[in-house]
Every structure is written in C-alpha cells, then in structure tokens.
Amino acid sequence: MHLDKETRLIIKRALQEDIGHEDITTLFTIPYHFKTEAVIIAKEKGILCGMDIARAVFKERGKKVFFKAFKKDGDKFRSNQRIACIKGDARVVLSAERVALNFLSLFSGIATTTKEFVDRCRGTKAKILDTRKTTPNLRVLEKYAVRMGGGFNHRKSLGEAILIKDNHLRAGKFMLNNRLDAIKMAKCISYVRTLPSIKTEIEVETLEDFKAIIKYKPDIVMLDNFEVKSMRKAVKFRNKYFPQVRLEASGGVKIKNVRKIAKSGVDFISIGSLTHSPKAIDFSLEIMQRR
C-alpha cells in the first residue's frame, strides 16, 4: 500500500492522540538503551489489512526499528498466528504498540466483514459496494480495506458522481403528492448527460417510481429497501427494456439475506455496515525478549 501524505498525517495524529506529551510509563520503567523483540499475534481468524500502516506507525516513532511482516494485506490468517515481528528500541515498540494494533484491528475487521459478504455472493454477478458511512478522516483507508476484502468502492466523495436520493427529491421539489415528478427528473438527467465523465444514480423506493425513472436511462438505479420479490421484478423489467442501466440494491442488507438479494440479478449491493459497524479483529503484541 502506498502511504501518501494524508495517510502519514493520520498516523502522526493518531500517535499524538495516544501518547500525548510523552509515554511516561515507558520512560519510568524502560532504560533508554534497552532493545527488545516482539511479535504481533492474531487472536482470531480473518483477512489482514493495515500491515503497511502498522509498520509506518513504528517507523514514525523510531526510524531504526526493524519490522518484518509474515503476511500481506488481503491474506487470510488463523487464530494464534504470528503476523509480524518487531525489533529495536524497547521504548519505541511499547509507545507505538496500541496505535499500530488499533489500525490493524479496524482495517482487518472491515476486510474480514467484506470478505464474508463477497463469499456469500459467489456464483452471482453482484458486486459488493461500500458507502460513505465511514469514520471521518479515515475514508480512504477504510475503502482500501473494503478492496482488500474483495469488495468495490462506491463514490469516494460527493464530487465524484451524482446520487439523487429521497432527501434531494423532496428538497428539490421533485415530488408531487408523494409521487415522483418524472418530467422534472427527466430534465435533470438530460442536463447531467452534458457533463463529461459524470455518472448519475437515482434512488427509488417503489416499483412504480422505478419504471417511471428507468426510461430516462440513468447510469444506475438504486432500489432502496426493496423486497427481494420486487427486486426480481425490477431486474426482469430492466433486462427486457433497458439492459444498459445498472441496478443497485441498498438497505437492510445482512449476511443472512445477501445471497437472496444477489440471486435477484442486481449488479451491485451497497452495504453501509462494512465500514460503520464492522467487528474489529483482536491482535496482541507480545514481548519475546529483552537485552
């Protein structure tokens, strides 16, 4: 993983947050000349993500620290498996430990959660997408973790694509008596098509609105909280009349129902929980020796 300027700034801020003015416990217990060796161990199985970030955390505290990874991002690991070893200044290792493990836990949790959804959809054409429900200032890294789990990224920012959702429709007065004003929407889509390289996606909540919108051929139609039965009907209609339009399922997607959704024939399934509530993976750092 390439660590750009933004990522390195995130690492510096994370260390500053955790250490404060200084790690006084380590200062009082570890002489400055002591060296140590430690290993990072996975306490449960999962998909690894964040190894280069963990390395950078230790290097930020001490350039001479030796960090050897036994696994790379995207690899599977098992419980009690050694993931990496660190050698060097004991004060550096101990003061950087928690930040490095926190990054590994979060990003490996996202990658692992994503992989579970991807595996459930094997044999279908549906791609698993993330959303903008990310931790502030960590979006780039969390979306990287989704890719390490086999998922795909939706738009990275509001400026990357047009996604017209229910609040836009209401605030922009695209609704008449709780019904979508298809004519006004058509004018909006026509204008967007004049913009270079900008894709348009529109959210619909009913089959009726879906059929009204798809005839104007947006790039993607989002089926928001559709029942699987209705998704199948939407897919059948799309396949017959507008095969070039992609369909995205969103809302209420869980491990127990994602395969049924994927088998409906939709192209994408967007899942906010990949990043807003993944189960963190437990890692520990254990000191092996001191000299």
List the catalytic residues.
98, 133, 165, 203, 224
Q: One-letter amino acid identity for 228?
A: V
Q: Which two tokens stand for residue 226?
A: 């559709």
* Whole-number Å distance between alpha carbons of 67 and 56: 9
CA angle 227-228-234, nearest 5°?
A: 95
Distance CA 175, CA 170 (A): 6
**CA pair distance 33, 31, nearest whole angstrom:** 6
Inter-helix orientation angle 207-214/182-192, to 10°:
40
Three-class SS of residue 224?
Answer: strand
Cβ contacts of 283 within 8 Å, gap of 6 or more: 40, 41, 42, 43, 83, 101, 104, 105, 108
Token pair, residue 92, equals 């550096």
Question: What's the rounded Cα separation, in Å, for the pair 221 and 250?
Answer: 10
Does residue 290 come out as left (phi exceeding 0), alpha (psi in the -120 to 50 range) or beta?
beta
Closest CA to 137 of 239, 255, 11: 11
3-state secondary structure of 174: coil
Residue 224 bridge partners (DSSP): 250
